[in-house]
Amino acid sequence: MKPRLVIVGPPGAGKGTQAAGVSEDLGIAWISTGAIFREVTASGSELGNQIVQLINNGDLVPDSLTNQVVANKLDEIGTDGGFLLDGYPRTLAQVEALDAMLSERGMELDAVVELNIPDDAIVGRLLKRAELEDRQDDTEEVIRHRIEVYHDSTAPLLDVYGKRGKVVKVDGIGTIEEVRERLISALKDSLGE
Ligand code: AP5
Ligand code: MG
């Protein structure tokens, strides 16, 4: 059975960077709600216009919309597929919604990767990215707000998944390759392969 995984971590922890490699290695779908929302906002559609300000300010998109986006992706993947959810769930309400979505489809999560970097390493990484990529939420003020939103709304999820024995902690400091090896080896231990 292909693994069903979540990766959680603060902005700039390297979720997307690592998710790209891990999903390819494991042959599973990479679902980044942030990337999906950026595509929608770039399209100039009515939906995009509704959420563009939230994203640019570093605020969360409403749970109902976010949950629907993920449910659609899970339907595309089908019940036999594996996935790596990057940036979802992000609130306790999204954890509940994901629980319901998975159980309706007869699926279960195998592991939740907690990718950690200290707050003081985040701003530098993301300001560097701002020089290369055009993300409107990569300004210092918005980055600091995103860090606060992470601590307030998202970090509490780790207690919930921790109580379920699903959390695999990975240190996100080091080169991209070092973090990747650490992550793969921690996942192998956890999935018992
Ligand atoms: P999202 O796209 O998920 O952004 P984020 O969580 O703020 O995280 P980032 O994508 O900025 O960082 P990352 O951890 O992926 O790091 P990366 O690999 O890019 O969400 C954006 C917005 O969408 C949210 O604010 C919200 O508005 C909305 N949204 C998304 N999901 C939502 C949800 N579930 N509910 C509600 N709203 C939602 O790496 C960062 C940089 O560091 C890159 O330049 C990379 O090259 C570099 N880097 C990576 N690893 C290393 C390393 N080991 N050493 C040095 N540099 C590194
Ligand atoms: Mg990302």
pTM > 0.95: yes
- The DSSP code sequence of 128-178 is HHHHHS--TT-SHHHHHHHHHHIIIIITHHHHHHHHTT-EEEEE--S-HHH
8 within ligand 1 shell (Cβ under 6 A):
no
What is the number of the ligand 1 atom nearest to the C-alpha of 149?
25
Q: Check 15, 38, 166, 180 and give the catalytic one.
A: 15
34 C-alpha vs ligand 2 centroid, how far in Å? 7
Q: Whose CA is nearest to atom 25 of ligand 1?
A: 58
**How many residues are recorded in the chain?**
193
16 within ligand 1 shell (Cβ under 6 A):
yes
Q: How does pLDDT run across 6-60, given as a tens digit for each residue?
A: 999 999 999 999 999 999 999 999 999 999 999 999 999 998 998 999 999 999 9
Output the six-digit token pair for 170.
């990975």
Q: Is 182 a catalytic residue?
A: no
The predicted structure's pLDDT at residue 193: 62
Q: How does pLDDT run across 126-141, given as a tens digit for each residue?
A: 999 999 999 999 999 9
The predicted structure's pLDDT at residue 149: 98
- The DSSP code sequence of 32-100 is EHHHHHHHHHHTT-HHHHHHHHHHHHTPPPPHHHHHHHHHHHHHHH-TT--EEEES---SHHHHHHHHH
